[in-house]
Amino acid sequence: MTDNSGGFNFQEEYMSLLFEFKECIWVSNLFQVILGSSIPIMLSDNKTAVGISTTSMTRKQTQHLLREFNLINEYITCRKIKLEWISTNYQLADILMKPVSHIKVNQFIKIINWI
């Protein structure tokens, strides 16, 4: 099953999201201790991965992800983290992980107001 995320299937995207999620929780806990900051927001450009994480949607293909799903879903339900979908056009992480044109780099610079 392929999603519109550049050829990756939703299971690969979900496992990537899980890794990022664990890192986000670690950084969030650190900031909470130091700054008392609010709920972090994770952004993903894969609608299927976000859908699986934010709802109790289960399928035969996701059964092996059940433990990881429960971890992410618990944090989202308890409002310890927020997960939202973002269009690939605004996914700033792409500049670090994919070859992008100078046009895309300039677009990202404008989005984050560096210039």
The CA distance from 82 to 25, in Å, is 11
The torsion angles phi and psi of 80, rounded to 5 degrees, stand at: -90, -15
Q: Which of 9-23, 29-43, 47-61, 96-110 has the highest mean pLDDT?
A: 96-110
Average pLDDT of span 85-107: 78
103 pLDDT higher than 80: yes
The domain limits of the chain are 10-87
pLDDT of residue 115 exceeding 60, the answer is: no
Which is more confidently placed, 52 or 2? 52
Taking the C-alpha atoms of residue 91 and residue 16, their distance in angstroms, rounded to an integer, is 15
Is the four-CA dihedral 18, 57, 4, 82 of positive or negative sign?
negative
On whether the CB atoms of residues 73 and 93 are closer than 8 A, the answer is no
pLDDT for the residue 78:
78
pLDDT on residue 5: 45
Handedness of CA 48, 101, 111, 28 (dihedral sign): positive
Comparing 1 with 48, which gets the higher pLDDT? 48
Neighbouring CB atoms inside 10 A of 80's CB total 15
pLDDT of residue 67: 63
Count Cα neighbours of 43 within 13 Å in the Cβ-side half-sphere: 9
Mean pLDDT for all residues in the chain: 70
